[in-house]
Each structure stands twice: as C-alpha cells, then as structure tokens.
Structure 1
Amino acid sequence: MDAHAHFAQLARYNVWATARLLDAVAALSDEEYRRDVGLFFKSIHGTLNHLLVGEHAVWFRRFSLGESPQKSEGVSLDMEMESDRAKLAKALLDGAAKWAPLIASWPAERFDSTLDYNTMNGTPVSLPFAATLAHVFNHGTHHRGQLSAALTALGQSGPDLDLVVLLQQTAAATKKTNA
C-alpha cells in the first residue's frame, strides 16, 4: 500500500471512530460526562478536549501550516478548548475531516521526509514525517480506547471501534454498489 492510501485510510478511520464514539458519549448525562472517572485528563469531557488540542490545535497546525504552538501562547495539552458538549463534538468531527484533504495534497516524497517543528516548550525537533503522522492517528486511537472503557465503567455500551469493522463495512458497501 502506498503512503497516500495508507494515511487516507487512517484519516477515514479517525472520522468514523470519532463519530461512533461521540454517538455513544451523547447518551451520558452531563454529570457522567464531566465526572472524574480516573482518566489521565480526568473526565470524558477533559479527554475529548485533550483530543481536540492534541490532534487539531497542535499536530494539525504542525503538519498543515508548519506552525509550532507554544505553552507561552497559552496552549496546553490539558486546556479546555470548548466547554459546550455539542460544540466540542462538532469541532472534533470537523477537525477529523480536515486530515484526508491535507494528506491528499502532499506529494508522495513528503512521506519519506522529516517533520521539523518546535515542541510546546520551544525545543527544536526533526522526526520522520510518516511515523510522526502515524503517531497522530495512534494517539487518537489510544484515547478513544480510554473513553470506551470509561463508557463501560459508567454502565454504557462502548462502541465497536475496531478498524476491521470499518473495513468490513466498506467492503460490504463496495460489493453492494458493484452488484
């Protein structure tokens, strides 16, 4: 599989899994949604905000604009970017949808290069581009897994977020279209 196809698939998965998770989270009361359930970012709300910060306010800016958000600018991984549940969900979905067009815009050789940026503390870093992009999607998967476990602990059904479920759905839709 070429890098464009691989990362486009991860971007599609990110949108799909985020939407499924947010649908499950919508069933929670506001008290459950904001309760400290022992996650690193305390609550489901805190963890969703962390995803918005990390994936969109930090990494997307690094990849799309070459910008390096800094703590000195008020950016932190535990900040609350959006207090409203519905607006936070929309921001997460809108942000997830921006990755596929960005990935499609890059020439193939970009994936074999480096991503040069400054950490949030200002330290210069140069990392393999493709591996660092994989980190962005892996990071989202990690936190969606935490959120799914939190939902279960709160007595809700956690959504099935396995990539193979999306692949099976895609294959079935393709088969139906070609029939």
Structure 2
Amino acid sequence: MSLPNYFASLGRYHVWATNKLLTSNLKSLSDADWRRDCGLFFRSVHGTLNHLLLADNLWYARFAEGRSPRIPLDTELHSERAAVCEALAQAVTRWSPWLATLAPERYDGELAYTRNNGEQVRIPFAPALGHVFNHATHHRGQLTAALTGMVQPGPELDWVYLLQQEAKSP
C-alpha cells in the first residue's frame, strides 16, 4: 500500500473511531463522572477530550496551515460537554480532504514547526503525520479504559473493525 493510501485509511479511521467514542456511553455519563479525576494524563474525560481537540487543532495548524500555535496542552477549549464533543467531531473531518491534496513525494519530506517552548523542530513528515493519528488512538484508549473503570462498556475502536467494514462495502 502506498503512503497516500495508508494515510487516507488512517484519516478515515480517525473520524470513525472519534465518532464511535463520542456516541458511546461517554454521552450518558453524569456530570460528576464526566469531570471525575480518573487518573488519566489529562485527569478526566472532559480534560482528555479537550486535549484531543487541542492536539488535533495544533497538529492540523502545523501540517496543513504551516503555523505553530503556542498553547499549553492542558488548555480547556470548551467548558461545556456538547461544545467540546461537537468541536472534536468537526475537527477530525479536516484531515481526509487535506491528505487528498498531498503529492506522494510530500511524505518523504520534513515537517518544520516551533514547539510551545520556542524550540525549532524539523522531523520526517510521514512519521510525524503518523504521530497525529497514533496520539489520538492513545487518548481514545485512555477514555475507553475510564469508561470501563466507571462500569460502562467502552466502544470497540480497533482499526481492524473499520477495515473489515470497508471490505464488506461494495
């Protein structure tokens, strides 16, 4: 599989898994459980979803817009549940159309950006892009673990389930 096709698949997975998570038992959590410190890196379901949105916005700005916003990674972008969920569901949809504009040779290039601490960074483009999707998978996994800890079934988010679904489609 070519890198453009691989990343197109990752882009579809990013949307699919995020939507499955957002329409899971997360939406029926009590306000106390929504904000409870579950021992996650960003403490709560609310904090982790805000971080997912912030990171998606940050990496999209770096890749697609050539900007390097400097914003703390624990910044609360939305205080309300519906707002953070809507914004995240919308944010993840940007990647696939942008990925479709990339020339195949772009994947062999570099990504240059400035970290929050002001450090200038140049890293390989394709692995850095892979990080965007891997990072989101990591935090979605934390959220499913938090649901399990609250005795709520977590959604099945393995990429292979999307691949199987797509293989069945005509």
Q: TM-score, normalised by structure 2?
A: 0.97
The amino acid that maps onto 2:102 is W
3-state secondary structure, aligned to 2:28: coil
1:12 shift after superposition: 0.4
Alignment-derived partner of residue 177 in structure 1: none
**Structure 2 unmatched ranges of 5 or more:** none
Matched, 1:47 2:48: yes
Matched, 1:11 2:8: no
| Equivalent runs, 1:19-168 vs 2, <5 Å | 19-24=19-24, 25-56=26-57, 58-70=58-70, 75-168=71-164
The amino acid that maps onto 1:97 is T
Tell me, in whole angstroms, the C-alpha distance in 2 between the residues paired with 1:23 and 1:29.
15
Tell me, in whole angstroms, the C-alpha distance in 2 between the residues paired with 1:10 and 1:148.
19
The amino acid that maps onto 2:136 is G
The amino acid that maps onto 2:10 is L
3-state secondary structure, aligned to 1:105: coil
Tell me, in whole angstroms, the C-alpha distance in 1 between the residues paired with 2:67 and 2:169.
39
3-state secondary structure, aligned to 1:117: strand
3-state secondary structure, aligned to 2:48: helix
3-state secondary structure, aligned to 2:121: strand
Q: Say which of 167, 173, 176 aligns to 2:169.
A: 173
1:82 shift after superposition: 0.8
The amino acid that maps onto 2:101 is S
Q: How large is the Cα RMSD of the aligned pairs? A: 0.8
3-state secondary structure, aligned to 2:169: helix
Tell me, in whole angstroms, the C-alpha distance in 2 between the residues paired with 1:124 and 1:35.
36
1:80 shift after superposition: 0.3
Count of equivalent residues: 169
4+ residue stretches of structure 1 with deviation over 2 A? none
The amino acid that maps onto 1:47 is T
3-state secondary structure, aligned to 2:123: strand
